[in-house]
Structure 1
Amino acid sequence: MTPTTAVTRTPSAKRIVVGVGGGIAAYKSCSLIRSFTESGHQVRVIPTESALEFIGRATFEALSGNPVHTDVFTDVPKVPHVRIGQEADLIVIAPATADLMARAVGGRADDLLTATLLTARCPVMFVPAMHTEMWEHPATVANVATLRERGATVVEPASGRLTGSDTGAGRLPEPEEIFALASLLIERSDALPRDLVGRRVVVSAGGTREPLDPVRFLGNRSSGKQGYAIARLAAQRGADVTLISGITSGVAVPAAVDVVHVQTAEQMREAVDKQALGADAVIMSAAVADFRPTTVATSKIKKGADEPDTIPLTRNDDILAGLVQARRDGVLAAATAIVGFAAETGDANGDVLTHARAKLARKGCDLLVVNPVGDGKAFEVDSNDGWLLTADGREQALDHGSKALMASRVLDALTVLLNRPSK
């Protein structure tokens, strides 16, 4: 009896093939499959025989709601080794072992998964997982390059704990990150080109906290999701990425990204100034506090006769304007691309774009990403929209979509900046 699933496919639902290689990280594929099905997609799981040593067939069938086979001789009249690949909208291989990628490069078709890869004409995403020595071996490096040359997306692995006591590059990214990248490829199949290889990119993200006393602080509603999405995609597009992270909510550290954690605006400025040296681009997506309390109480401010009537504030340094000035002064290279963000609302003096244009002129950055905020927009949500404004007066509307899609558009514009002729 074929398992069924209660998930109803929506008009935007896709046919997703999840290939599972034979590695210990196969357990993470279960969460990935669940994310796809809960989003309304139709999922077909194709494990290798080795993968079934780690996860049972019944688990994959229960999670996907579809039968699971590994060979090309089951259900021959439906020609699954051809049909599955032909009908798929996206194939995600997680984990992609060194052996599985080598077989894919060699054009093998000795099981259902490799045969499916040969017939697929949809986007294919390999998510490697293996020991560091295997990931760095010249054979694997060459195989990854070949897969990318043929149009497949090969995700950069995370670094961290591997099998046993070993640590290093080669860890499978978390299912949430794999799902985010896969979902982006559904939105936009060309979102992950390798166009930032050799570039060093600094990204700031999240909010800042300015302490009032040991308990309270001035803060904002930034979750850090947009900046983290930019850092994640920049790394997957080949950049060497440093993420300077303020206070965040509900986001995980992206794979293949170095992270510097800060809390206050002053700490953010110091970290950005340090990391910007030698960078090809700095993307200031953090929501940095404009003001901080002039004095910080050493003990908790209590109600009563000693409570303050007002809290004096001091203006924080403008990090974005400081970067532009550092470039003018030669501290940063003249070719350094500087990207700012503006969260804006309209008021009696003008609409969002009016204020954004004035901010771009005032800040002097190369590109300004403008997000309208309020009424559930931009902050603490998974979607975004707005405009891209360039220093030479061009404006591009950004349709509403995921923050990953917004990040891909920002990086497209950044690539144009980085490839501009030198003055």
Structure 2
Amino acid sequence: MPFFAYKARSASGELLQGVMEGADSGAVANQLMAGGSTPVDIVETKKAVTTSGDISLWQRFSEKKVTSMDVQLFSRQMYTLLKAGVPIMRGLAGLQESAVSPAFGRVIKDIRESLDAGRELSAAMARHPAVFTPFYLSMVRVGEMTGRLDGVFLRLFDHLEFDRDMRARVKSATRYPTFVIVAMILAMAVVNIFVIPQFQQVFASFKAELPLMTRILIGTSSFTVNYWPAMLAVMVAGVAGFKAWLRTVPGRYNWDRLKLRFPLAGKILLKGTMARFARSFALSSSSGVPIVQALTVVSQTVDNAYLCARVEQMRDGVERGESILRTSVAAGVFTPVVLQMIAIGEESGSLDELMDEIAAMYEREVDYELKTLSAQIEPILITFLGAMVLVLALGIFLPIWDLGRVAMNK
């Protein structure tokens, strides 16, 4: 996504400047307003804000970038320091010295300098949109307003740990199927380029009519060998065009909606995203954020443009005076059991607790789906692998067997 240089006014009137990543200027404006800032000027720029300072060009490319683990550890350390009553400037100085990542150490240094200049902690963190997400910044602002910054950092640590664990389990479950699919594609490429041409020379010497399957394999192999540069160019152009389409707002929206309909993977993506939504909403609500603002903030944590639009639809309904239950039904992404829990939570005034229960329920379902994912994919992979072997066997060995039988009859 492109980067935008912005100028905004905080709630206290302070001028804020920085660079933020977003789909368009409107999305950046929404992120700023969700954080309590009023946009003044938003202009597209070519690069994000950096904290490299005077480091060499080689260091910029060779050193490890700031990871979510760095931010998660930072959240836990900030909670411990603030809970113990350590002044924030003194605590940040210690964290800067002990930072394992040099890049994150420079981020902490810039935060300290911004605090020295009179900025709030959230405004100082907002200078680094590549490190701190809009949701993270919004929660820090809530902590500053309510005086519960230590508790917010602890909740952020739990949130980041859940998010990282969810992504790690998805990667673990899809590693084996991905390896098998890549191996099958490479095997087909090797057979088409190197193996079948050798058999084609042998078959040509027989001067006999070949079976249909053999002729199809030879034709496919000849096309691949003769036109592989064109095929490669089409593939590269297709990937580039697809990425360019994804960078557009309609493209990202339609692709994210399509992903949720994929066999096997779609329901896992939906449940994982809704678990993140429920956990984030519970965190925002329990921290004292108004529901409308909470839905605005939570929509930024939903890593899916289609579901983000559904959450924003819920927010608009609440702004019009509708209940959470009615807007949830209209969104069309919750199961009847979840809708019933939302209704109970809204009636009892314990929506944050029920949202935690909903998140836990979605997490259990995702865990079960991930554990059984390999078992569901294996039959499909075996079927495709068997079909590939059958085609190769019929195409390559059938003519040899037929010619051998003819020779024996003679």
After TM superposition, is the score higher than 0.5? Answer: no
Q: TM-score, normalised by structure 2?
A: 0.26
The structure whose residues are more often helix, as a share, is 2
**Bigger radius of gyration, 1 or 2?**
2
The structure whose residues are more often strand, as a share, is 1
